[in-house]
Amino acid sequence: MISKGISYILIATLSFAIMNTMAKELTSLPAMEVVFFRALGTFIFVFPYMLLNKISIVGNNPKILFLRAFVGLISLATFFIVLQSMTLGSAISIRYLAPIFGAILAYFFLKERIYFWQWISFAIAFSGVIVLKGFDLRIDNMSLALILISAFFVGIVYVLIRYLGKSEHYLTIINYFMVVSIVGSLFFCGNWRMPINSEWYYVVTIGIFGLIGQIFMTRAFQLEETSVIAPFKYMELVYALILGYFFFEETYPLFAFLGIVLILVGMLLNVRVKQLKTD
């Protein structure tokens, strides 16, 4: 029988995949406006809950919390920009390189060890990006650069969350991210326009599923060990490939699909190495 933690991570990854699909549907709106509605959908539920339960709004490390929120905004904004031009599966698979950047940054700043087979897993994943870029002609250089920037900043987020984890409530961290994303998206969105007709359906769906994904992801990691949960996070890619096919008729040449598989294999190997070293 599947544990509750694994069930929650499967719900979370499906929710994020649906959110990303809806974001890709909104090519008619500026990417920063999509960021705004994604953040607003979470904020309007999280902030009142924090007030009712007397959870700290300011936190113990406001400067680091703001930094985490700011780099998270950069990552989310670049990801949503790329979604408007890159296939869903390719964007999500390349963004999975984030743990590599996180591990390297943690090596330098948190003095966390990187094992030999992790370096091998990183090489496999990066070779997958090279193969994917070489055989999927829909990936232009600018989109590839932006999605790598997005992955890099997610890696920074991982390191900052590990730093904040013992001193901050997880909702305080999330709320900072939402507030900075709301303000930042409005500041950088120069051609704002209100959604019309079916666009309202998409922006509401983005907010709802973003919130569902955030809640179930958090609960999954609370209920189950990270080593058990981590491999199932990559189910988001499977969902994305299926949704991309049905919503956008996205298909991949054989070798481009091989590139995606290499990225997935590399990242799963990284998870497995860390499991063996911590057991």
Over residues 53-101, the pLDDT tens digits come to 999 999 999 999 999 999 999 999 999 999 988 999 999 999 989 989 9
Run of H or E residues at 164: helix 141-164
Burial 191-223 (b: 16+ CB within 10 A, else e): eeeebeeebeebbebbbbbbbbbbbbbbbbbeb
Domain count, the chain: 1
Residue 266 covered by a domain: no
**Are the C-beta atoms of residues 44 and 111 closer than 8 Å to each other?**
no
Residue 124 covered by a domain: no
pLDDT surpasses 70 at 205: yes
Pull the structure tokens for residue 235. Answer: 């189910």
Residue 41 covered by a domain: yes
Q: What is the DSSP string of 238-265?
A: HHHHHHHHHHH-----HHHHHHHHHHHH
Residue 63 covered by a domain: yes
**Are the C-beta atoms of residues 81 and 75 closer than 8 Å to each other?**
no
CA-CA distance, 271 to 90, in Å (whole number)? 21
> Quick one: how far is CA 1 from the chain centroid?
28
| Token pair 């190495």 in the structure block, residue | 273
> What pLDDT sits at residue 55?
95
pLDDT surpasses 80 at 2: no
**Are the C-beta atoms of residues 171 and 59 closer than 8 Å to each other?**
no
> Quick one: how far is CA 2 from the chain centroid?
24
Residue 189 covered by a domain: yes
**Are the C-beta atoms of residues 73 and 35 closer than 8 Å to each other?**
yes
Domain span at 158: 4-115+139-251
> What pLDDT sits at residue 4?
85
> What pLDDT sits at residue 194?
87
Each residue's pLDDT tens digit, 27-40: 888 899 999 999 99
Each residue's pLDDT tens digit, 206-262: 999 998 988 888 788 767 766 677 788 889 999 999 999 999 999 999 999 999 999
Q: Which of 147, 113, 117 is nearest to 133 (CA)?
A: 147
Which range has highest mean pLDDT (98-107, 180-189, 237-246)? 237-246
CA-CA distance, 245 to 105, in Å (whole number)? 35
**Are the C-beta atoms of residues 240 and 89 closer than 8 Å to each other?**
yes
Residue 105 covered by a domain: yes
Residue 91 covered by a domain: yes
pLDDT surpasses 80 at 1: no
Which amino acid, 106?
A
Residue 179 covered by a domain: yes
Each residue's pLDDT tens digit, 137-168: 889 999 999 999 999 999 998 888 888 877 88
> What pLDDT sits at residue 175?
94
For residue 218, give the 3-state DSSP assignment.
Answer: helix
